[in-house]
Amino acid sequence: MKIKIVFVFFIFLTNCYESRNIYFDAKIVEVIDDTSSVDHFNCSHPVCDPILQCGCPEGYMCTIIYENSSFSRVCVRPVGEKQEGESCNAYDCAPGLMCADDGICRKICKENSDCTRNGQCYRSIEGDDLFTCNVWCNLITGENCPEELKCVYIFKPDVPYFSDCHISTGNSGYLEDCNHASDCLQGMFCVSDVGKCGGYICSKPCQPDPVCPEEFPFCECNVGFGTIDGVTYGFCYID
């Protein structure tokens, strides 16, 4: 009796892709710039989608980084852990977030519904069709912003005022000149036509019942400023 021996060879094909290693924050970060050889399934973007988290190999996350004077989508691992509003460096924000140019993790978005706390999808990402959301914060205390940033109000046409963390541009005090909300100390607004002063000056907000500072006895709360994050604010002005 003849015995026929059949050898079966199994060949496992894997996706091949080029990656680069970056020494970052005392660890090695692996970055993939070209994902053309990765199975994209239903991912429509040629690199990856940081909102849907598709287009990257398993174990990687899709994010947007600022490198060589431009923003680009990349796949990175290990996956970041820092949450929205936390101080960050290029690669350490959690999936769905990016380390923005102001040094905090921001949620990547296409529209307002992608943002948390009824946020606004308004900060453009140069060279990309995506945006980032505002980070809700307390306008009086600065809560939810890192120490190096201020909580300010943002005005956009046809959109109610909303709060966001912003790079500080000055430390002007009460009734001192300003050009932007971030020029004033935390807890103050940069407002125009304040009483008889005119121009733009830093003024203390009110909500609207709390009295204005005792050292300015002729101040009172003008309730006509606006509603920000559901709170109606006024500001203290010279009568």
- CA-CA distance, 120 to 188, in Å (whole number)? 22
pLDDT of 197 > 60? The answer is no
**Residue 169's pLDDT is what?**
86
Mean pLDDT of the chain: 81
pLDDT of 59 > 80? The answer is yes
Of 41, 31, 35, 30, the closest CA to residue 16 belongs to 35
The full set of domain ranges for the chain reads 20-133, 181-238
pLDDT digits (tens, 9 = 90+) for 1-46: 444 443 333 333 335 667 788 776 667 889 988 877 676 667 888 8
**Residue 97's pLDDT is what?**
97
Q: Which tokens in the block code for residue 1? A: 């009796």
* Amino acid at the residue 174: Y
pLDDT digits (tens, 9 = 90+) for 131-150: 999 999 998 889 999 988 99
Tell me: cis bond preceding 210? Omega within 30 of 0 counts.
no
* Amino acid at the residue 121: C
- Lowest mean pLDDT across 58-62, 72-76, 82-86, 219-223: 219-223
Question: Does residue 218 or residue 182 have the better pLDDT?
Answer: 182
Q: What are phi and psi of 112, to 5 degrees?
A: -60, -35
Give Cα separations from 69 to 44, 65, 66, 154 (angstroms): 26, 10, 7, 26
Tell me: cis bond preceding 78? Omega within 30 of 0 counts.
yes
